[in-house]
Chain A
């Protein structure tokens, strides 16, 4: 079945880079996403990558995809206090409307 796994917690010092990792099981995954959820707020789509890409960079965000190992990572450069949130890895299949989410990684920023 479809499953998305990610570590639950990550602590990073302000100014350092954060790397959040995720693994998924569905080999037919077409799009892989990173969503951000701040307390009391809905989900914000940060970035996504199509399954035929290896890397995508968007300002401070870099997404790496290893399709062979079904491993996705999100790197946040120069982590700021405003980056403190829960980050969800998610995927959809080809022409599939539902998004499968991981349990989320809580990113804590140390001063």
Chain B
């Protein structure tokens, strides 16, 4: 049973560029959440996608956008990269409606470095 997978593992970009990160959810899951984890910090919620729509959003600017495909995989896009966008980007998947707790399973993350 494949867990949550993310690609690429590492990425280096320069300021002003755009980046796309990808996530495949755990088999059977239909919901994908994205988190940003800066060095030495806990993960911060960016947004969640369910049924190909953004369901909830954290306190991130519009430069951060996403998409969910019919196969439940998801992309995170960041435009006009800033140095402060350097972080580990974590994807988590869950299955809505499994109970009071829709447990989120995390992938290994994509390490983005902005120079």
The reply on B101 being an interface residue by CB < 8 A is yes
8 A Cβ contacts from A80-103 to B? 88, 90, 96-103
B58 interface neighbour in A42, A48, A98, Cβ under 8 Å: A98
Contacts of A40 in B (CB 8 A): 108
Q: How far is the CA of A30 from the CA of B44 in the complex (A)?
A: 18
Asked if B48 and A90 make an inter-chain contact with CB atoms under 8 angstroms apart, the answer reads no
Asked if B103 and A45 make an inter-chain contact with CB atoms under 8 angstroms apart, the answer reads yes
On whether A42 and B4 interact (CB within 8 A), knowing A97-B33, A97-B48, A98-B56, the answer reads yes
Asked if B45 and A99 make an inter-chain contact with CB atoms under 8 angstroms apart, the answer reads yes
A42 interface neighbour in B56, B100, B106, Cβ under 8 Å: B106
- Of all chain B residues, which has the CB nearest A31? B101
Interface size classification for chain B: 20 to 34
Asked if B41 and A103 make an inter-chain contact with CB atoms under 8 angstroms apart, the answer reads yes
- Of all chain B residues, which has the CB nearest A106? B40
Asked if B106 and A4 make an inter-chain contact with CB atoms under 8 angstroms apart, the answer reads no
- How many A residues, CB 8 Å from partner? 23
Asked if B42 and A98 make an inter-chain contact with CB atoms under 8 angstroms apart, the answer reads no
Interface digits, A30-41 against B, CB 8 Å rule (1 contact, 0 not)? Answer: 110001000011
Most chain B beta-carbon contacts within 10 A, residue among A35, A44, A97, A99: A97
Most chain A beta-carbon contacts within 10 A, residue among B31, B42, B102, B107: B42
Contacts of B35 in A (CB 8 A): 99
The reply on B104 being an interface residue by CB < 8 A is yes
Asked if B42 and A104 make an inter-chain contact with CB atoms under 8 angstroms apart, the answer reads yes
Q: How far is the CA of A90 from the CA of B33 in the complex (A)?
A: 15
Given contacts A42-B4, A101-B43, 18 further A-B contacts (CB under 8 A): A4-B42, A42-B109, A43-B90, A43-B106, A45-B105, A48-B101, A50-B100, A50-B101, A88-B43, A96-B56, A97-B102, A98-B33, A98-B56, A99-B35, A99-B43, A99-B45, A103-B41, A104-B41
Q: What is B's interface to A at a CB cutoff of 8 Å?
A: 4, 31, 33, 35, 40-45, 48, 55-56, 58, 90, 92, 100-109
